[in-house]
């Protein structure tokens, strides 16, 4: 049918315009030569989310006021939306199509609102029983471990969580200050996860000391290692050892534990990541004058942009292009730090420009305390020689966390190096998925749909420009006075105002445009879908143009 | 059996005799009695046809197109605005090569509203590709319906019968009524290979690229040209069966005529009476009725007119910005072959009576004026 018929003379032609061949395959004859068909894509925000939250779907469900279903949609890929809604670096927003129209959707604020609504409705969480015989040990109760435990327990596998600390949460508990994530909320989230299925907790248990990896491997059908990065990197300069110089994480751990710490009047923080920001802002809350010194510029800082801006608002000083060279002590007491001035050279393997010293240029900063926040590393003594490691990280075969030992999986910072909460959640979930497949004998998981759309695929005539709806907040001067949570959540009105801004990129939200515009009345509206009646569709493609969100693709007929 | 019936009913009887299977029409004065009688005939079982009621002429012809495309004999009738509303589908019937027969009762086009006769409605459909046959009497009307189906089905083009409003449509005359059994040997039941058939599905009326459209149009013109012989042959055959024939044209006392009046429709009858009168006076005059307008009988018209010294064409129509339409056609038939003066007369527009006096005025004017400067002579217009 794709072969072109060439008539050499009118004598070879039928008397009137009619097909020579049978045309039951296209009842419009040659009229419809291009066929429209519903073809949903993956919204770019979802592709931008490390744990592939179905953002478009839950925002759509919010617009329809189906909050429980919206919450369920998130829980499919992330068991702690209340937390990610507060602390995530929201790469989804960088991908948001609306960013190229006016301003990206405030996705984390919507996620947070749904997460909190879920916590307020504990009956929404299904309670799984231990329906399967296999048992899994999860080592480390940070975001990766908790996520892994949640997705295994929900399938009916019994999970035992081993945690070195007395309380669960890992970096969520000791690494994130309360003004960003309140401990009470964290407790609630963890409780909701623990209650979701057969999960047992063993706190105060150290791997390699209280329990060995081989023992776990023998006792359990699978083991997940989500032990994170726990040891601070050292500066490696003169005078580092001694009073007045401390790892920032230790300070944070004490502050988050409710301990009163006096860092001193003048505090320097070395580093440009989130730990540096958290340390600086906690020190401000203790009343210190704080200077963050970073060896590159603000553009290269790995910290979340919002956190840098908050730190500035709270009065944290920044000094860029400088690295500590020497720590000067006066009778054992910290006196000052000599900094080497730097400039940006050629880009390094991370793509950021490498800082290089400017010969002979230094300056001195007089401080009472220096916090180091130049990164953390894993403590892998407990698994040494048992699981393949490289560069002090556990080596995995793929994103599903398979290690060199069949029954042992790993995920989170201990695999990736310092990354993010949401990436750890994703790693935990994917490892759980792979562990389930190990138990059921199913093969490798298939990679999902990746096709997405951009602003050029949006019919922007259907949208009015509007500003992102911001969450209410307490002013910086009030914020810096204590550990009250700075950002408040959306109320219903704000939630809907923001959800209504979503383009629903590449996914139908039943706007009826195709159905209304079809000049041949060839689109039928069913309960939860539209169906094209190809007996009548002439392929004018008005539906394709009028779909505001590129849900309809085309295909040449007979090809 | 002979009956005294009106011209419109002569149409209905012609349809009744032709084993038509589908009739769809929308009533309009002065056509109404055609469909009234047909619907009664269908209801009474006199005709084994499906009568499809519709909401407009566009739909009426569309229904008939559908029926014809499905391979059955189909008929419709209309008038004036109705015909104009059918315009798009008139083209369709031609392009789809459907042998539909349509009776159009000539009625002047509004505004202003008029129900009386002139030829502008049918002649404005001159170029769509339908055969057009202008009838003069009730007998001719009935017989032409039967002939029309045979012609249409032979050349695979639709045929339009044209009747003057009231002068023909509502005038009662004796008609020798044809019965279907009588007609069947002349016009067998219709069947065609090319038809919409669920057992052998094809698509029809498809999109044709410039690569094929041209040839399909060429074939329509070829069919139109061939139809001239087919009309003659069918007419001859009809004569064999029923003893009546009508020809493409009808010359009257033209053999030694110095002046010939060219006419169509009912004006032809009136003109013959005037010709007889003038012949009695010793004037060498004749008349030529053009019965088949499409395809235009160029050769036949030339043959008759080439012996005359002067030709006068009577048009009950006007092509605004040009001349009378029959006048144009006659002139084109004679173009380059003779230098006989051809004079155009426009009369009878909007149903104004074309009486013997009017015809006489035209004849006198044509004979008296040696070299007419104008190609339009308005007869009877109040200036």
Cβ of A13 and B206 within 8 Å?
Answer: no
Among B200, B201, B216, whose Cβ lies nearest the Cβ of A16?
A: B216
pLDDT value of position A559: 75
Q: Are B204 and A16 in contact (CB under 8 A)?
A: yes
Q: Which residue has the higher pLDDT, A557 or B231?
A: B231
Whether the predicted pLDDT of B293 surpasses 60: yes
Pairwise CB contact (< 8 Å): A18 & B204: yes
Note whether A452 and A506 are within 8 A (CB).
yes
- Of residues A240 and A320, which shows the higher confidence score? A320
Instruction: Name the residue in chain A with its Cα closest to that of B199.
Output: A22
Mean pLDDT in residue range A329-351 = 90
Task: Tell me how close the Cα of B212 comes to any Cα of chain A, in angstroms.
Answer: 8
- What span, in angstroms and rounded, lies between the C-alpha atoms of A110 and A95? 16
CA distance A405 to A338: 47
Q: Please name the residue of chain B whose CA is at the shortest distance from the CA of residue A27.
A: B203
Mean pLDDT of the B223-234 span: 98
Distance (Å, whole) CA B294 – CA B288: 16
Establish if B316 belongs to a structural domain: yes
Query: Same domain for B44 and B179?
Result: yes
Using an 8 Å CB-CB cutoff, list chain A residues near B211. 6-7
Residue A251, classified by CB atoms within 10 Å of its CB into exposed (0-12), middle (13-18) or buried (19+), is buried
Question: Is the CB of B206 less than 8 angstroms away from the CB of A22?
Answer: no
Chain B residue with CA closest to A32: the answer is: B207
Question: Residue B372 above 70 pLDDT?
Answer: no
Please name the member of A6, A10, A23 whose beta carbon is closest to the beta carbon of B202: A23
* Average pLDDT rounded to a whole number, residues B120-137: 98
Are residues B236 and B254 located together in one domain of the fold?
no
In a domain, B319, yes or no: yes
Instruction: Pick the residue from chain A with its C-alpha nearest to B216.
Output: A16
pLDDT tens sequence across B152-183: 999 999 999 999 999 999 999 999 999 999 99
Q: Are residues B124 and B238 in the same domain?
A: yes
Among A4, A6, A12, A16, pick the best mutation site for testing chain B contact (most B Cβ within 10 A).
A16
Any long-range contacts for A241-246 (C-beta under 8 Å, 24+ apart)? Answer: A242/A327, A242/A329, A242/A332, A242/A334, A243/A332, A243/A333, A243/A334, A244/A329, A244/A333, A244/A334, A244/A367, A244/A368, A244/A369, A244/A370, A245/A327, A245/A334, A245/A369, A245/A370, A245/A372, A246/A369, A246/A370, A246/A371, A246/A372
User: How much is the pLDDT for B239?
Assistant: 98
Residues from chain B contacting residue A27 (CB–CB below 8 Å): 203
* Nearest by Cα to B266 from B170, B199, B145: B170
Considering the domain architecture, whether residues B174 and B27 belong to the same structural domain is answered as yes
Other Cβ atoms closer than 10 A to A56:
26
Q: Which residues of B touch A28 (CB under 8 A)?
A: 203
Domain boundary among B217, B242, B267: B242
Structural domain contains residue B235: yes
One domain for residues B228 and B88: yes
Instruction: Tell me the pLDDT tens digit for each residue of A521-557.
Output: 999 999 999 999 999 999 999 999 999 999 999 999 8
| CATH number of the domain where residue B155 is located | 3.40.50.970
Predicted confidence (pLDDT) per residue in A94-146, tens digit? 999 999 999 999 999 999 999 999 999 999 999 999 999 999 999 999 999 99
Nearest to A16 among B97, B207, B211 (CB): B97
Q: Please report the domains of chain A, with CATH numbers, ordered by start residue.
A: 22-40+508-556 (3.30.70.20), 44-124+459-499 (1.10.1060.10), 135-230+378-440 (3.50.50.60), 236-375 (3.50.50.60)
To the nearest whole Å, the CA of A32 is away from the closest chain B CA by 9
Residue that terminates a domain, selected from B188, B222, B242: B242
Q: Check CB contact under 8 Å for B203 and A23.
A: yes
User: Cβ separation of A29 and B204 shorter than 8 Å?
Assistant: yes
Residue numbers in B near A22 (CB within 8 A): 200-202
Distance from CA of A515 to the nearest CA of B (A): 25
Contact residues, chain B, for A30 at CB < 8 Å: 203, 206-207
Residues from chain A that touch B202, judged by Cβ atoms under 8 A, are: 18-23
Q: A195-233: per-residue pLDDT in tens? A: 999 999 999 999 999 999 999 999 999 999 999 998 888
What is the predicted ipTM? 0.84
CA-wise closest residue to A61 among A532, A528, A545, A551:
A528
Which pair of structure tokens corresponds to residue A68?
A: 């429980």
CATH number at residue B289: 3.40.50.920
Which residue in the set A18, A24, A27 is minimally distant from B194, CB to CB? Answer: A18
Of the partner residues A7, A23, A33, the one whose CB lies closest to the CB of residue B201: A23
Residues B261 and B210 occupy one common structural domain: no
Q: Which of B207, B214, B220 to mutate to test the interface with A (most CBs of A within 10 A)?
A: B207
Quick one: pLDDT at residue A45?
97
Contact A23 B96 (CB under 8 A): no
Q: With CB atoms and an 8 Å threshold, state whether B204 touches A22.
A: no
Distance in angstroms (rounded) separating the CA atoms of residues B231 and A193: 92
- From residue B311, how far is each of A203, B302, B361, B373, B379 by CA, in Å? 120, 11, 14, 14, 16
Number of domains in chain B: 2
- The verdict on B176 and B285 lying in the same domain is no
What are the beta bridge partners of residue B162?
B104, B134
Same domain assignment for residues B170 and B298: no
Interface probe with B: pick from A18, A27, A31, most Cβ of B within 10 Å: A18
Q: Rounded mean pLDDT of A146-164?
A: 97
Please give, rounded to a whole number of angstroms, the shortest distance from the CA of A522 to a CA of chain B: 18
**What is the CA A462 to chain-centroid distance, rounded?**
30
Q: B256-289, pLDDT tens digit by residue?
A: 999 999 999 999 999 999 999 999 999 999 999 9
- State how far the Cα of B72 lies from the Cα of B74, in Å rounded to an integer: 6
Structure confidence at residue A447 (pLDDT): 79
Q: What DSSP assignment string belongs to A485-504?
A: -SBPPP-HHHHHHHHTT---
Question: What is the DSSP code (8-state) at residue B319?
Answer: -
Region B242-254 average pLDDT: 98
Nearest CA in chain B to A17: B205
Kindly identify which residue of chain B lies nearest to residue A28, measuring between CA atoms: B203
Contact B202 A22 (CB under 8 A): yes
Give the pLDDT confidence score for residue A449 in this predicted structure.
77
Sign of the four-CA dihedral A499, A504, A507, A511? positive
The token duo for B51 is 């009568």
Q: How many residues comprise chain B?
A: 383
Q: Answer whether A277's CB lies under 8 Å from A379's CB.
A: no
pLDDT, position A446: 81
Hey, are the CB atoms on A16 and B194 less than 8 Å from each other?
A: yes
How close, in Å, is residue A552 to chain B by CA atoms? 24
Contacts of A19 in chain B (CB under 8 A): 202-204, 206
Instruction: Identify the band that residue A332 occupies on the pLDDT scale cut at 50, 70 and 90.
Output: confident
| Per-residue model confidence as pLDDT tens digits over A371-386 | 999 999 999 988 888 8
Q: Is the pLDDT of residue A462 over 90?
A: yes
Task: Answer whether A15 sits within 8 Å of B205, measured CB to CB.
Answer: no
pLDDT of residue A2: 58
Task: Give the number of beta-carbon pairs within 8 Å between A and B.
Answer: 67
Q: How far is B99 from chain A (nearest CA, A)?
A: 12
Reference B18, options B176, B183, B205, B249; nearest CA is B183
Cβ contacts (< 8 Å) between B204 and chain A: which residues? Answer: 16-19, 29
> CA-CA distance, A40 to A38, in Å (whole number)?
6
Residue in B96, B158, B203 to test binding to A, most A beta-carbons within 10 Å: B203
Q: B317 and B189 in one domain?
A: no
- Sheet containing strand A333-347, edge to edge, reads A322-330, A333-347, A353-366
Q: Give B370's pLDDT tier (boundaries 50, 70, 90).
A: low
Gap from A3 CA to chain B (nearest CA, Å): 15
B66 and B180 together in one domain: yes
Judged by CB atoms closer than 8 Å, whether chains meet at A31 and B216 is answered as no
Mean pLDDT of B116-136: 98
A31 to chain B, minimum CA–CA distance in Å?
6
Alpha helices in A304-378 (DSSP H): 305-313
How does pLDDT run across B192-218, given as a tens digit for each residue? 989 999 888 888 888 888 988 999 999
Name the minimum distance, in Å, from the CA of B223 to any CA of chain A. Answer: 10
The contact set of B with A (CB < 8 A) is 95-97, 156, 194, 200-208, 211-212, 215-216, 218-219
In whole angstroms, what is the distance from residue B372 CA to residue B365 CA? 9
Does B341 share its domain with B221?
A: no
Question: Which range is least confidently modeled, A15-29, A283-297, A304-318, B62-76?
Answer: A15-29
- Does B204 contact A26 at a Cβ distance shorter than 8 Å? no
Distance from CA of A148 to the nearest CA of B (A): 59
- B203 and A29: CB-CB below 8 Å? yes
Asked if A19 lies within 8 A of B202 by C-beta distance, the reply is yes
pLDDT at position B208 is 86
Percentage of the residues of chain B whose pLDDT score is greater than 70: 98
Q: What is the DSSP letter of A467?
A: P
pLDDT tens, position by position, A248-267: 999 999 999 888 889 999 99
Last residue in a domain, options B184, B216, B242 = B242
> Does residue B235 share a domain with residue B275?
no
B105 min Cα distance to partner chain A (Å): 29
Owning domain of residue B132: 2-242
Residues of chain A whose C-beta is under 8 A from some C-beta in B?
Answer: 6-7, 9-10, 13-24, 26-31, 33
| B383: in domain | no
Q: Closest Cα partner for A175 from A424, A355, A368?
A: A424
């Amino acid at each position: 049918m794709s072969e072109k018929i060439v008539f050499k003379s009118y004598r070879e032609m039928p008397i009137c315009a009619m097909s020579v061949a049978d045309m039951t395959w296209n009842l419009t004859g040659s009229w419809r030569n291009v066929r429209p068909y519903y073809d949903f894509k993956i919204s770019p925000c979802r592709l931008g989310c490390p744990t592939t939250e179905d953002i478009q779907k839950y925002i759509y469900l919010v617009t329809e006021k189906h909050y429980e279903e919206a919450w369920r949609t998130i829980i499919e890929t992330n068991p702690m939306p209340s937390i990610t809604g507060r602390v995530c670096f929201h790469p989804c927003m960088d991908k948001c199509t609306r960013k190229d129209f006016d301003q990206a959707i405030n996705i984390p604020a919507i996620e947070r609102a749904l997460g909190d609504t879920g916590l307020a409705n504990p009956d929404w969480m299904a309670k799984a029983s231990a329906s399967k015989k296999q048992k899994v040990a999860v080592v480390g109760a940070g975001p990766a471990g908790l996520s892994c435990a949640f997705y295994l327990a929900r399938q009916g596998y019994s999970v035992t969580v081993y945690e070195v600390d007395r309380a669960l949460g890992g970096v969520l508990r000791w690494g994130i200050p309360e003004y960003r994530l309140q401990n009470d909320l964290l407790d609630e989230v963890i409780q909701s996860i623990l209650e979701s299925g057969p999960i047992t907790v063993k706190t105060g248990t150290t791997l390699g000391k209280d329990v060995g990896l081989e023992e776990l491997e023998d006792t359990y059908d699978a083991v997940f290692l989500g032990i994170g990065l726990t040891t601070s990197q050292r500066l490696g300069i003169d005078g580092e050892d001694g009073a007045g110089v401390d790892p920032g994480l230790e300070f944070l751990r004490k502050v988050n534990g409710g301990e009163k710490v006096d860092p001193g009047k003048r505090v320097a923080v070395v580093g440009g990541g989130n730990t540096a920001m958290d340390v600086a802002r906690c020190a401000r809350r203790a009343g210190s004058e704080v200077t963050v010194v970073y060896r590159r510029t603000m553009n290269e800082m790995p910290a979340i942009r919002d956190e840098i801006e908050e730190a500035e608002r709270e009065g944290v000083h920044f000094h860029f292009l400088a690295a500590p060279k020497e720590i000067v002590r006066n009778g054992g007491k910290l006196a000052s730090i000599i900094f080497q001035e730097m400039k940006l050279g050629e880009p390094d393997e991370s793509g950021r420009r490498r800082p290089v010293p400017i010969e002979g240029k230094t300056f001195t900063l007089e401080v009472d305390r220096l916090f180091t926040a130049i990164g953390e590393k894993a403590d892998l003594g407990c698994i040494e020689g048992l699981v393949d490691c490289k560069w002090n990280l556990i080596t995995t075969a793929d994103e599903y966390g398979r290690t060199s030992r069949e029954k042992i999986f790993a995920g989170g910072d201990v695999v990736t190096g310092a990354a993010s909460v949401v990436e750890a959640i994703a790693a935990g979930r994917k490892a759980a998925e792979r562990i389930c497949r190990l138990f059921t004998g199913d093969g490798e998981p298939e990679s999902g749909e990746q096709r997405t759309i951009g602003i050029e695929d949006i019919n922007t005539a259907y949208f009015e420009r509007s500003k992102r709806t911001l969450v209410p907040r307490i002013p910086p001067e009030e914020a810096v006075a204590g550990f009250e949570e700075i950002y408040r959540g959306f109320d219903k009105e704000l939630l809907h105002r923001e959800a209504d801004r979503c383009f629903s990129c590449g996914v139908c939200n039943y706007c009826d445009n195709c159905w209304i515009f079809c000049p041949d009345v060839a689109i039928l509206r069913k309960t939860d879908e539209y169906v094209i009646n190809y007996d009548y569709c002439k392929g004018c493609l008005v539906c394709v143009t009028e779909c505001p969100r590129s849900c309809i693709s085309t295909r040449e007929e007979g090809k | 059996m002979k009956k005294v019936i009106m011209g419109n009913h002569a149409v209905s009887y012609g349809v009744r005799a032709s084993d038509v299977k589908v009739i769809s029409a929308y009533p309009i004065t002065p056509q109404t009695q055609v469909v009234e009688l047909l619907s009664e005939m269908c209801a009474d079982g006199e005709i084994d046809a499906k009568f499809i009621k519709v909401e407009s002429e566009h739909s009426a012809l569309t229904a008939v197109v559908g029926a014809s495309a499905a391979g059955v004999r189909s008929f419709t009738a209309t008038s004036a605005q109705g015909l104009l509303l059918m315009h798009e589908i008139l083209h369709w019937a031609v392009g789809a090569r459907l042998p539909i027969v349509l009776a159009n009762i000539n009625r002047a086009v509004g505004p202003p509203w008029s129900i009386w006769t002139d030829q502008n409605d049918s002649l404005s459909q001159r170029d769509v590709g339908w055969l057009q046959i202008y009838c003069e009497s009730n007998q001719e009307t009935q017989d032409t319906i039967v002939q029309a189906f045979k012609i249409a089905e032979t050349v695979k083009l639709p045929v339009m019968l044209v009747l003057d409003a009231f002068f023909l449509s509502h005038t009662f005359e004796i008609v020798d009524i044809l019965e279907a059994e009588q007609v069947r040997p002349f016009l067998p039941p219709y069947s065609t290979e090319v038809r919409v058939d669920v057992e052998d599905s094809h698509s029809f009326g498809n999109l044709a690229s410039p690569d094929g459209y041209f040839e399909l149009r060429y074939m329509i013109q070829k069919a139109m040209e061939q139809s001239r012989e087919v009309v003659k042959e069918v007419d001859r055959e009809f004569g064999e069966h029923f003893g009546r024939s009508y020809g493409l044209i009808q010359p009257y006392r033209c053999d030694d005529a110095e002046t010939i009046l060219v006419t169509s429709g009912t004006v032809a009858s009136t003109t013959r009476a005037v010709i007889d009168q003038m012949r009695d006076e010793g004037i060498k005059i004749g008349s030529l009725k053009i019965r088949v307008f499409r395809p235009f009988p160029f050769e036949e018209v030339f043959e008759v007119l080439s012996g005359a010294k002067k030709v006068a064409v009577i048009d009950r129509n006007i092509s605004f910005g040009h001349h009378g339409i029959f006048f144009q056609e006659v002139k084109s038939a004679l173009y380059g072959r003779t230098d006989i003066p051809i004079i155009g007369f426009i009369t009878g527009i909007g149903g104004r009576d074309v009486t013997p006096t009017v015809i006489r005025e035209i004849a006198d004017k044509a004979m008296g004026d040696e070299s007419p400067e104008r190609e339009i002579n308005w007869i009877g217009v109040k200036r």
